[in-house]
Amino acid sequence: MCFTESFAARTHDDWVGVATKALKTTPLDRLKTTTADGIVIEPIYVGTEVPAPLGGRAAGKPWTVAQRIDIPEPKAANAQILDDLMGGAGGLDLVFAESPQAAGFGIAASCGGCIAKLLAGVHVDLVPIRVDAGARTAELAGLITAFATETGKTVDLALIQDPVGELAASGRLAVAAEAAIAAAAAAGKRFPGTVLEADGRVWHAAGASEAQELAGLIATAVTYLKALEAQGLDLAAAVAKIGFTAVADQNQFHSIAKLRALTLLWARIQDALGLAPTPARIHVETARRMMNRRDAHTNVLRTTIATFAAGVTGATSVTVLPYSSAVGLPDAFARRIARNTQTILIEESNLHRVADPAAGSGLVDTETHQLAELAWTLFQGLEAEGGIVAALRSGSFLAKVAAVAKKRLDAIAKRREPVTGISEFPNIAEREVPVIDAQPKAPAEIAAAETVAPFRAVELDTAFETLRDTADAVLAATGERPKLFFANLGRIADFTGRATWSKNFFEAGGIQALTNDGFASLDELIAAFKASGAKGAVIASSDAVYETQAVPAAEALVAAGASPIYLAGKPADADREATLRAAGVTGFIHLGQDVVAVLTQALAALGR
């Protein structure tokens, strides 16, 4: 066979045959997975011979590297702005204290003098600015415009006015939703560019699936189109005044498909209105719900994946949350890493050079269109109910999102959906992440004319963070972590797999795993247990070794005072489980368990 023949075209059946052979007795269907929306992800796809890019940002044009600015004091925020711009930021994401996305911080500004301090030394005519201030967005955008005019400059502003998202996030508005939307639309007529923002962050943070986030975005955008039309704008002008903020997270292909589906959906809306579709202005922010407080440096991996997804799908601009965002107000180093994540992907990886590189991928194209269809169906359901505001008032959309969020949290609790650094590969010896010395503040209470059940943010690692807090309290009180001695039986090859898995299992709850290379005798094992100072033990080895050594080991550990005693693995049947429990085994750890529940019990048993 010549060299080129090895690259001959392969059919779908060819790949299925190779995969089936490699899997031996395991059926190929075992490799299928299902998304939160019920979309089945196949193990093998056939690509499209003639890719069809979905528009968006033109090839060769980089997205704007936006930097989040949220230090409360304007002068300190100005120092942050100048540092970020000098460090490579190309746009500013000004998050004021009134924003639903302020996370307890945000710029405190109430006058033209505050804005002058905030933007001192900034070439506002060269830097696109997002103004995110909740109900005060138009007011502050006006102050920024006045500042620019006074200095003889113009400014490119995007107003993040999103009364729907504000109502959903806080559950409260100072006026009725219809009045708030009409006021935002009327104020927006004074500004060029986008003035109303369909913001997906509230839906994503609350645990929405990809299709639910898309449906919320499109339903909100349509609501704003109607409001702008009511202000006398024709539909083409109204479309140009609407922007989108979408979320990308660590699920790379799902994020790519979701963002591409948003482009399809917005084009479909415009087509239904009799307009020639124009690309959506999509700003992407990396997901807050995926950010860990523990082992926060792993957030750099997650935000890099999310930024990649945003960059290859035609985002107009991207904001990367600094890796320490879940811990507190990020310092200069964390912001620098956030900037550099984008800069490297643009300047070194050249992601912007190709328009829609996912076009033609069997996986991504298929999921894109399936997501678009599912989201369209959900959107139609929202419209049939009277629109997104009516769905917020009835609680129907919240109920759907909450159901998906619960399933995801259950999957995380059982380690079916892993969270690196939290439920998988935890680092109980981690260093503290430095943040700016500032305490978050609760949002100011407002006299509300409109109230609904709010979409509360869901952090994926909350359950495990609570466990780690419990273990840390023991460490603080006693000088030692709760710990378990590992009774590794047999040869290293016998116990390494289960011992490693079990170490991750228990350290996800902050319990120190005292592992080892095994023991030459049972007496040596018991001596090591007594010397360890641990209260409990974990027996780890293969099923074959358990047949002869598990019961004697458990009995000896009980005699030495060990409690609780866990065995790594699931007994073959009820009789075997009864035998092991009679010998002193108090619990078994294996796949499919509610890990959080087991670890909660373990911490209670090991507490001092």
- pLDDT per residue as tens digits for the range 387-398: 999 999 999 999
| pLDDT on residue 369 | 96
Q: Say if residue 131 is in the same domain as residue 248.
A: yes
Please report where in the chains the tokens 């609790």 appear, as a residue: 413
Over 70: is that where the pLDDT of 189 sits? yes
> In this predicted model, what pLDDT tens digit does every residue of 144-170 receive, in sequence order?
999 999 999 999 999 999 999 999 999
Q: What is the CATH number of the domain that holds 573?
A: 3.40.50.280
Determine the Cα–Cα distance for residues 131 and 98; give it in Å rounded to an integer: 11
Parent domain of 71:
64-357
Residue 342 lies in a domain: yes
- Which conformational region is residue 18 in: left (phi greater than 0), alpha (psi within -120 to 50 degrees), or beta? alpha
CA distances from 362 to 101, 260, 359, 566, 574 (A): 36, 14, 9, 45, 46
Residue 428 lies in a domain: no
Residue, of 201 and 24, whose pLDDT is higher? 201
Query: And the tokens for 179?
Result: 């009045």
Helix axes 177-188, 137-150, angle to 10 degrees: 20
Q: What does the H/E/C string look like for 1-57? A: CCHHHHHCCCCHHHHHHHHHHHHCCCCHHHHCEECCCCCEECCCCCCCCCCCCCCCC
* Average pLDDT of the segment spanning 4-17: 76
Determine the Cα–Cα distance for residues 259 and 280; give it in Å rounded to an integer: 11
| pLDDT on residue 26 | 87
| pLDDT on residue 6 | 61
| pLDDT on residue 407 | 94
What's the pLDDT band for 2 if we cut at 50, 70, 90?
Answer: low
Q: Where a domain ends, among 306, 339, 357?
A: 357
Q: What is the CATH number of the domain that holds 281?
A: 3.20.20.240
What's the pLDDT band for 558 if we cut at 50, 70, 90?
Answer: very high
Q: Say if residue 330 is in the same domain as residue 472.
A: no
What's the pLDDT band for 7 if we cut at 50, 70, 90?
Answer: low
Over 90: is that where the pLDDT of 511 sits? yes
| pLDDT on residue 14 | 86
Q: Say if residue 471 is in the same domain as residue 351.
A: no
| pLDDT on residue 459 | 83
What's the pLDDT band for 60 if we cut at 50, 70, 90?
Answer: confident
* Average pLDDT of the segment spanning 4-21: 79
Residue, of 550 and 413, whose pLDDT is higher? 550
Helix H or strand E encompassing 181: helix 177-188
Over 50: is that where the pLDDT of 587 sits? yes
Query: And the tokens for 180?
Result: 């708030």
Residue 456 lies in a domain: no
Beta strand residue intervals within 236-321, DSSP E: 242-248, 282-286, 317-319
Closest CA to 219 of 397, 82, 66, 59: 397
| pLDDT on residue 11 | 84
DSSP bridge pairs for 319: 66, 285
Please report where in the chains the tokens 């019920």 appear, as a residue: 38
Q: Say if residue 351 is in the same domain as residue 469.
A: no
HSE-CB for 121 with a 13 A CA cutoff: 14
The strands making up 587-589's β-sheet, listed across from edge to edge, are 512-514, 483-488, 536-540, 565-568, 587-589
Are residues 241 and 192 in contact, defined by beta-carbon separation less than 8 angstroms? no
Residue 93 lies in a domain: yes
Buried b (16+ CB within 10 A) or exposed e, 338-358: bbbbbbebbeeeebbeebbbb
Q: Say if residue 323 is in the same domain as residue 181.
A: yes
**What's the length of the chain?**
608
Please report where in the chains the tokens 């328009």 appear, as a residue: 355
What's the pLDDT band for 462 if we cut at 50, 70, 90?
Answer: confident
Q: Where a domain ends, among 303, 332, 357?
A: 357
Query: And the tokens for 41?
Result: 């992800």
Are residues 460 and 511 in contact, defined by beta-carbon separation less than 8 angstroms? no
Calculate the CA 116 to chain-centre distance: 35
Over 70: is that where the pLDDT of 548 sits? yes
Calculate the CA 282 to chain-centre distance: 18
Query: And the tokens for 83?
Result: 């540092």
Three-state DSSP class for 232? Answer: coil
Question: DSSP readout, 467-519?
Answer: HHHHHHHHHHHHSS--EEEEEE-S-HHHHHHHHHHHHHHHHTTT-EEE--S--
What's the pLDDT band for 112 if we cut at 50, 70, 90?
Answer: confident
What 512-518 contacts at long range (C-beta under 8 Å, 24+ apart), as own/partner pairs, is 512/428, 512/481, 512/482, 512/483, 512/484, 513/483, 513/484, 513/486, 513/538, 514/483, 514/484, 514/485, 514/486, 515/486, 515/488, 516/486, 516/488, 517/488, 517/492, 518/488, 518/489, 518/490, 518/491, 518/492
Residue 382 lies in a domain: no
> In this predicted model, what pLDDT tens digit does every residue of 425-459 receive, in sequence order?
898 888 889 999 988 888 777 788 999 999 999 98
Q: Say if residue 336 is in the same domain as residue 483.
A: no
Residue, of 319 and 111, whose pLDDT is higher? 319
Q: Where a domain ends, among 357, 375, 409?
A: 357
* Average pLDDT of the segment spanning 251-273: 96
Helix residue ranges per DSSP H, 509-590: 522-532, 543-559, 574-583
Helix residue ranges per DSSP H, 313-361: 332-347
Residue 353 lies in a domain: yes
Beta strand residue intervals within 79-182, DSSP E: 91-95, 129-132, 157-159, 172-173
What's the pLDDT band for 1 if we cut at 50, 70, 90?
Answer: very low
In the predicted model, what is the mean pLDDT of the chain?
A: 93
> In this predicted model, what pLDDT tens digit does every residue of 317-362 receive, in sequence order?
999 999 999 999 999 999 999 999 999 999 999 999 988 999 999 9
Over 80: is that where the pLDDT of 475 sits? yes
What total number of domains does the chain contain?
A: 2
Residue 329 lies in a domain: yes
Residue 201 lies in a domain: yes
> In this predicted model, what pLDDT tens digit does every residue of 203-253 receive, in sequence order?
999 999 999 999 999 999 999 999 999 999 999 999 999 999 999 999 999
Report which DSSP code applies to 303.
Answer: H
Closest CA to 249 of 295, 203, 217, 280: 203
